[in-house]
Chains A and B, each alone.
Chain A
Amino acid sequence: AQKVTQAQTEISVVEKEDVTLDCVYETRDTTYYLFWYKQPPSGELVFLIRRNSFDEQNEISGRYSWNFQKSTSSFNFTITASQVVDSAVYFCAQLSMDSNYQLIWGAGTKLIIKP
């Protein structure tokens, strides 16, 4: 069955600390797509990244980096030198043929960055 687990319900760190948000996925498909979205208090879901199952190369975008490991079915998200503006709920999601190409969402991790 398709499933996305974000075990961390809420994380609170002080500004400038590094923080890693965990995402573990389950799928029987060999081809699938993984996503991270950010939802600030305004409510809009902001697309951050998409990863294809056949591309395990890690990605860095400014202070954001993603670690995709098929061996552990994980797609973790790290924010380096966190800032107050990073405070939001972060969602991990998965899409595959087995889910009829519907996004399967994790429950989200609320990230609080304290000044």
Chain B
Amino acid sequence: ETGVTQTPRHLVMGMTNKKSLKCEQHLGHNAMYWYKQSAKKPLELMFVYNFKEQTENNSVPSRFSPECPNSSHLFLHLHTLQPEDSALYLCASSQAMGGTLNNEQFFGPGTRLTVL
């Protein structure tokens, strides 16, 4: 496989469930990102990992817990979510971060999450 893959593509969960979203990048990149895309709202950056180390946590509620075991894999663990957490969750990766070349981000297809 090439590019950035995400599983599952669709997920329906109850508020008491625990689930995980998985992201894998096959591009040899060093940085990975989680974004949330809600209807009629701008893309929201949730977490950033660079060389497996978390560098950003944009005031995300603790019911979202990221994990980055290596530079190729990124997880988003979900527990006791609320209906307003329903959204498209996008994973991205980039070769580098910040004000350098090769900082463009490549995105996966996203996981459409519905919380009942």
Interface residues of A (CB under 8 A from B): 31, 33, 35, 37, 42-47, 50, 91, 95-97, 100-103, 105-107
Q: Which residues of B contact A100 (CB under 8 A)?
A: 56
Q: How large is the interface on B (under 10, 10 to 19, 20 to 34, 35 or more residues)?
A: 20 to 34
Interface centre among B43, B45, B48 (most CB of A within 10 A): B43
Interface residues of B (CB under 8 A from A): 42-43, 45, 48, 56, 58, 88, 90, 92, 97-99, 103-110, 112
Q: Which residues of B contact A43 (CB under 8 A)?
A: 88, 90, 109-110, 112
Given contacts A44-B107, A44-B109, A46-B107, 19 further A-B contacts (CB under 8 A): A35-B104, A42-B109, A43-B90, A43-B110, A43-B112, A44-B108, A44-B110, A47-B104, A47-B105, A50-B104, A95-B99, A96-B99, A97-B99, A100-B56, A103-B43, A103-B45, A103-B105, A105-B43, A107-B42
The 10 closest A-B pairs by CB, nearest first: A45-B107, A101-B98, A44-B109, A43-B110, A105-B43, A50-B104, A105-B42, A47-B104, A102-B45, A43-B109
> What is the number of contacts between chain A and chain B, taking CB atoms within 8 Å?
47
Closest B residue to A45 by beta carbon equals B107
A43 to B105, alpha carbons, bound, how many Å? Answer: 15
A47 to B108, alpha carbons, bound, how many Å? Answer: 11
Q: Which residues of A contact B98 (CB under 8 A)?
A: 97, 101
A96 to B108, alpha carbons, bound, how many Å? Answer: 23
